Amino acid sequence: MTTGTTGTTDETPLFGPGTHFSAFFDDPRWALAVIRATVLEAAHPQVGAALADNSTFVAHPWRRLRNTFVSMRRMFDPDPAVREREAARLNRLHARMSGSDSRGRAYDAMDRATRAWVVATLFESAVTMCRLSGQPLDQDTMERMYAEYRAFLAALDGDAGELPADLGDFWRYFDSVVEDELENTEAVRIILYRLFDHLPAPALLDGAPTLWAVGRAVVGPLLGSITVASLPEAYRRRAGLPEMPGATTLMQAAYLSAGLTRFLPAGWIDAAAIIEALSLSPDSDDPRARTVAALHTRMKRASALLRLLTPWSGDTGPDPAASATTGAGAPGATGATPDGRRSAEEFFRQVLDQTGDGHLDWPDLAAMARELATRLDLDEPDETRLYDAFAAWWRELQAALDTDGDGRVSADEYAAAVPSLAGPALIRVAEVLFDATDRDRSGTIDADEHRALFRTAFHRDLTTTGGTYDRSAFVGDFLSFMAGRRRNSPYDPLLADA
């Protein structure tokens, strides 16, 4: 694969430290730019359909944010081997995403023109970000940065031929796609009008529902308005997106304010640390969780104070205390049972329905396989075994639970059956995970291997007995989570947390 490592005329590397792309990772303006780019991506019919069918960004947005950030860092790593390995992983992931949208139009996540559009939105949004924040790029800098983005596409596709070689031609290409191809897709509407308004709390704010609901009620509409105002006018007209009065001024103020952070001392803003703090569970055994736990305690106190001072009645989510006493022991109840087990409905919503569309089908289980393979950084053979095992599990579930024959399982169908999900296929899923952990192929997992698995994939440690962990014990623990629906499992941060 061609990795696009050729430099510009001065032979400056296009990847790694010193590139414009890498500098944006810790730039607060980049958060606004990425949201804008995501909307423009989702407006493309092919991308919008793929997101609507396969993405977990609605139910698990913080997990999606972390995975995207890690992947982008890998794709711009100075080591070609790291870039090639990540590109191969992304290509395997995208090769599994194809189908048709609600109008019967086919989509394929490996379509080269569509992938080029995704890269184009990132470049154009970065240029727009600099302009809106009062730091417009000069022509030479823009040319240099465009070369970096074309190299990124080349690392994925083998060449950058789907993007114009000349920057002047790029702007004509970009305007043509905006005016002729973009639509007001379902994915765009979800991002602008559902995701921001119903964004689940990150792990840091879990347990502070009032504080989160109040903040979300203010910030959500503002983010939506800022994003719409920053989109190309041609697309806003084509999609019929309303622009709120004063939104342009608000958008410019947001970008200018974010741009002022350039005056902070170097190293004060660490995007990786911020994302980990948001996604790391306070009860994790990761050493960094001590700081998160301290912040979490303060957030809970602030939330309790806000609850006393403000008669807030927003959507704060289910009350854990009420859930624990409502319908306890009833299979279809939404609360927890007295022995600490999840109810069937809660398990369906938090674990099985990964895409958040209210139904269980193959994209949900594919998302589980994708998350496990990503966290464990599995090579192709083990990754394929994992996907095959999840596909077999889906066939078992569909045969047992799809009573109306519509090709998917509803929450009611699942809750009514209250099945034991520990079938042969799910056992094979657990065995693939065991084999990935048993690095020395000894047939047992020693304490170090066991800690490494949960530290790497789930930011958790488990205490082993006797210094080793055999296959049956490992499989039993995994099944107790997936079939027994027990709470406080080390798998919760991976498959249940947002």
Q: What are the backbone dihedrals phi and psi of residue 486, each rounded to the nearest 5 degrees, phi first?
A: -80, 145
Q: What is the CA radius of gyration of the chain?
A: 23
Is residue 462 very low, low, confident or very high in pLDDT (cuts 50, 70, 90)?
very low
Q: What pLDDT, in 10s, does the model give residues 362-391? A: 999 999 899 888 877 888 888 999 999 999
Is residue 310 very low, low, confident or very high in pLDDT (cuts 50, 70, 90)?
low
- If asked whether residues 251 and 349 sit together in one domain, one would say no
Is residue 34 very low, low, confident or very high in pLDDT (cuts 50, 70, 90)?
very high
> Quick one: pLDDT at residue 39?
96
- If asked whether residues 240 and 371 sit together in one domain, one would say no
Is residue 401 very low, low, confident or very high in pLDDT (cuts 50, 70, 90)?
confident
How far CA 465 is from CA of 209, 424, 444, 474, 479, in Å, comes to 37, 26, 12, 12, 19
Q: Within a domain: residue 228? A: yes
Q: How far is CA 153 from the centre of its chain?
A: 21
- If asked whether residues 28 and 111 sit together in one domain, one would say yes
- If asked whether residues 259 and 335 sit together in one domain, one would say no
pLDDT at 76 over 50: yes
- If asked whether residues 341 and 484 sit together in one domain, one would say yes
Tokens standing for residue 43: 């407006």
What would the 3-class secondary structure string for the chain be?
A: CCCCCCCCCCCCCCCCCCCHHHHHCCCHHHHHHHHHHHHHHHCCHHHHHHHHHHCCCCCCHHHHHHHHHHHHHHHCCCCHHHHHHHHHHHHHHHHCCEEECCCCCEEECCCHHHHHHHHHHHHHHHHHHHHHCCCCCCHHHHHHHHHHHHHHHHHHHCCCCCCCCCHHHHHHHHHHHHHHCCCCCHHHHHHHHHHCCCCCCCHHHCCCHHHHHHHHHHHHHHHHHHHHHHCCHHHHHHHCCCCCCCHHHHHHHHHHHHHHHHHCCCCCCCHHHHHHHHHCCCCCCCCCHHHHHHHHHHHHHHHHHHHHHCCCCCCCCCCHHHHHHCCCCCCCCCCCCCCCECCHHHHHHHHHCCCCCCEECHHHHHHHHHHHHHHHCCCHHHHHHHHHHHHHHHHHHHHHHCCCCCCCEEHHHHHHHCCCCCCHHHHHHHHHHHHHHCCCCCCEEEHHHHHHHHHHHHCCCCCCCCCEEEHHHHHHHHHHHHCCCECCCCCHHHHCCC
Tokens standing for residue 443: 């047939």
Q: Could you tell me what percent of the chain has a pLDDT over 70?
A: 74
Instruction: Specify the number of domains making up the chain.
Output: 2
Q: How far apart are CA 297 and CA 276, in angstroms?
A: 17
- If asked whether residues 384 and 484 sit together in one domain, one would say yes
> Quick one: pLDDT at residue 160?
95
Q: Within a domain: residue 224? A: yes
Q: Within a domain: residue 275? A: no
Query: Which residue, chain included where needed, has tokens 């809750």?
Result: 415
- If asked whether residues 85 and 199 sit together in one domain, one would say yes
> Quick one: pLDDT at residue 1?
39
* Interval 75-97 mean pLDDT: 92
* Interval 116-133 mean pLDDT: 95
- Could you tell me the CATH number of the domain that includes residue 359? 1.10.238.10
Identify the residue with better confidence: 170 or 410. Answer: 170
Q: Within a domain: residue 283? A: no
The residue among 214, 232, 263 that closes a domain is: 263
The residue among 263, 289, 318 that closes a domain is: 263
Q: What pLDDT, in 10s, does the model give residues 403-435? A: 888 889 998 888 777 655 667 888 888 888 888
* Interval 136-160 mean pLDDT: 94
> Quick one: pLDDT at residue 486?
60
> Quick one: pLDDT at residue 332?
36
Beta bridge partners of 446: 468
- Give the angle subtended at the CA of 230 by the CAs of 225 and 231, to the nearest 5°: 105
Q: What pLDDT, in 10s, does the model give residues 325-353? A: 333 333 333 344 444 566 778 888 888 88
* Interval 130-147 mean pLDDT: 94
- If asked whether residues 229 and 371 sit together in one domain, one would say no
Q: Within a domain: residue 299? A: no
Structural domain boundaries, residue 444 = 331-495
Q: Within a domain: residue 63? A: yes
> Quick one: pLDDT at residue 484?
54
> Quick one: pLDDT at residue 16?
79
Is residue 186 very low, low, confident or very high in pLDDT (cuts 50, 70, 90)?
very high
Q: Within a domain: residue 77? A: yes
pLDDT at 5 over 50: no
Tokens standing for residue 404: 């109306």
Q: What pLDDT, in 10s, does the model give residues 252-304? A: 999 999 888 877 777 677 777 777 666 665 555 555 555 555 555 655 555 55
Mean pLDDT is highest, among 91-105, 167-181, 476-490, for: 167-181
- If asked whether residues 258 and 115 sit together in one domain, one would say yes
Query: How confident is the prediction for the chain on average, in pLDDT?
Result: 79
- If asked whether residues 133 and 209 sit together in one domain, one would say yes
- If asked whether residues 241 and 335 sit together in one domain, one would say no
Buried b (16+ CB within 10 A) or exposed e, 202-220: bbbbbbbbbbbbbbbeeeb
The residue among 223, 245, 263 that closes a domain is: 263
pLDDT at 454 over 80: no
Within 8 A by CB and 6+ apart from 487, the residues are 336, 340, 341, 342
> Quick one: pLDDT at residue 49?
93
Q: Cβ(40)–Cβ(180) under 8 Å?
A: no
pLDDT at 57 over 60: yes
Q: Within a domain: residue 307? A: no
pLDDT at 451 over 80: no
Is residue 150 very low, low, confident or very high in pLDDT (cuts 50, 70, 90)?
very high
- If asked whether residues 258 and 160 sit together in one domain, one would say yes
Q: Could you tell me what percent of the chain has a pLDDT over 90?
A: 34
